[in-house]
Amino acid sequence: MAHQWRGVIAEYAERLPEHVQRRVITLGEGGTPLVPAPALSALTGADVFLKVEGMNPTASFKDRGMTTAISSAAGRGAKVVVCASTGNTSASAAAYATAAGMICAVLVPDGKIAMGKLSQAIAHGARLLQVDGNFDDCLVAARKLAEAYPVELVNSVNPDRIEGQKTGAFEVVDALGDAPDIHALPVGNAGNITAYWKGYREYAGLDAGSSLPPVATRTPAMWGFQAAGSAPIVLGHPVTEPETIATAIRIGNPASWQQAIDARDTSGGLIEAVTDEQILVAHRILSSQVGVFVEPASAAGVAGILALAAQGRVPAGARIVVTVTGHGLKDPQWALRTADGSEVTTMRVSADVVAIADALELG
Ligand code: AN7
């Protein structure tokens, strides 16, 4: 019988609020692969899987929460949405707003978002403004705009976003048959760690007020990783000038800070920092040893489990799921550098089979 994945609202309707279901705007998000990563299992001594969120319609995990946020706004008759973004939220908001026939306003830090994401927001017709400031400044402005004007805010401070993003946890449990021991992921504005933790708790029957039967017998330890130059939760104070090559998580004052701490502490987990060098090493291992191409921020979770394994802090044989949050094609320049930072060169040859075979060292 013909069947295709219907998007997260239809697939998880009974676990999502009714108000996001009045006018469903979907691009078929979710249903992303959970890929075994034997190379990472070998490096960590654990049993590692990747939740490959670059397979979503706009190539990042943001689509899970955008279908619910835009559907909710559409159900209330909203005409204009706004978001602040380090790039992926803007790409997703622009696509879903277009599908809903809405106007999408986007505030991004000037010169600090990856070209692929900028292209997506523009291609989908967003009213994009490059703001003289960082992401945190953009979010303050977006919140004020939504308070003072008839505009809906679709950042993850909007609870409808968290509802959609929690489906990532549902899919992990549906694929594995139960929750993993550890769930690792990058942390920026801290919406995703909040959402996964909510999803895992709900599937384990730990949320008050649900009459649905539990699907999982347990919840994982949540391991969040920030970039060392943008690690406010690790440091315990906001970072006024966050820096990292992982522009997606270049965030100094996360909106869901307290929720991230709750997820860390109630799950028995941790939130730690990884350096840009560790991020780039993990990025390279993912592309050259696993076969999964991600953007730098998305490699932070993998960098984290590798760092903890090196410190002997990864339990042998633990089942670990790492969310890799966005596709490598968003920010492809990082593939074109070698480990020592020099530019990758490619060979030129004549269209002659012998010359080509020689160049490939097949002779
Ligand atoms: C690839 O797009 O904040 O901790 O404005 O794009 O839920 O913020 C992006 C964040 C991880 C961090 N990986 O997730 C935005 C934005 C990628 C991201 C994160 C982001 P949160």
C-alpha span between 100 and 76 (Å, rounded): 12
Strand order in the sheet with 127-131: 127-131, 103-109, 80-84, 152-153
Given this model, what pLDDT does residue 143 score? 98
Q: Tell me, using a 6 A CB cutoff, whether residue 184 lines ligand 1.
A: no
- Could you tell me the pTM of the whole model? 0.97
**Which among 325, 327, 330, 334 is the best mutation to test ligand 1's pocket, defined by most ligand atoms within 8 Å of the CB?**
325
On the question of pLDDT at 1 being above 80, the answer is no
- What would the pLDDT profile of 216-248 be if each residue is shown by its tens digit? 999 999 999 999 999 999 999 999 999 999 999
The arithmetic mean of pLDDT across residues 51-70, rounded, is: 98
Whole-number Å distance between alpha carbons of 298 and 162: 19
Q: Are strands 80-84 and 221-227 parallel, antiparallel or unpaired?
A: unpaired
Confidence at residue 228, expressed as pLDDT on a 0 to 100 scale:
98
Mean pLDDT value across the chain: 97
- Distance (angstroms) between ligand 1 centre and the Cα of 88 equals 7
Q: How many CA atoms lie within 13 A of 233 on its CB side?
A: 31
Ligand 1 proximity of 326 Cβ (cutoff 6 Å): yes
pLDDT in the model for residue 294: 98
Q: What is the structure's pLDDT at 338?
A: 83
The pLDDT, as a whole number, for residue 259 is: 98
Cβ(248) to ligand 1 under 6 A? yes
Q: Tokens representing 138? A: 């953009």
Task: Give percent of the chain with pLDDT exceeding 70.
Answer: 100
Q: In the prediction, which pLDDT does 208 show?
A: 77
DSSP category for residue 97 = H
Q: Where are the alpha helices (DSSP H) in the chain?
A: 8-11, 38-44, 62-75, 88-100, 115-123, 135-148, 159-165, 167-176, 191-203, 232-235, 257-267, 276-285, 300-310, 353-359
Q: What is the pLDDT of residues 165-222, one digit of tens each?
A: 999 999 999 999 999 999 999 999 999 999 999 999 999 999 877 889 999 999 999 9
Q: What is the pLDDT of residue 134?
A: 97
DSSP 44-80: HSSEEEEEEGGGSTTSBTHHHHHHHHHHHHHHTT--E
Question: How high is the pLDDT of residue 275?
Answer: 98
pLDDT of residue 341: 81
- Ligand 1 close to Cβ of residue 187 (< 6 A): yes
Residues 297-355 pLDDT 10s? 999 999 999 999 999 999 999 999 999 999 999 999 999 988 788 899 899 999 999 99
User: What integer is the mean pLDDT of 80-86?
Assistant: 98
Q: How far apart are CA 112 and CA 152, in angstroms?
A: 24
pLDDT score of 152: 98
Mutate to test the pocket of ligand 1, among 86, 108, 185 (most ligand atoms within 8 A of CB): 86
Write b or e for each residue in 208-220: b if 16 or more Cβ atoms lie within 10 A of its Cβ, otherwise e.
eeeeeeebbeebb
For the residues 102-119, what does the mean pLDDT come to? 97
Ligand 1 centre from 349 Cα, in Å?
41
Structure tokens at 202: 């709900």
Beta bridge partners of 163: none
Query: What is the helix (H) or strand (E) element at residue 127, kind and residue range?
Result: strand 127-131
Q: Are 239 and 232 in contact (CB under 8 A)?
A: yes
Q: Ligand 1 within 6 A of 298 CB?
A: yes
Query: pLDDT tens-digit profile of 256-309?
Result: 999 999 999 999 999 999 999 999 999 999 999 999 999 999 999 999 999 999
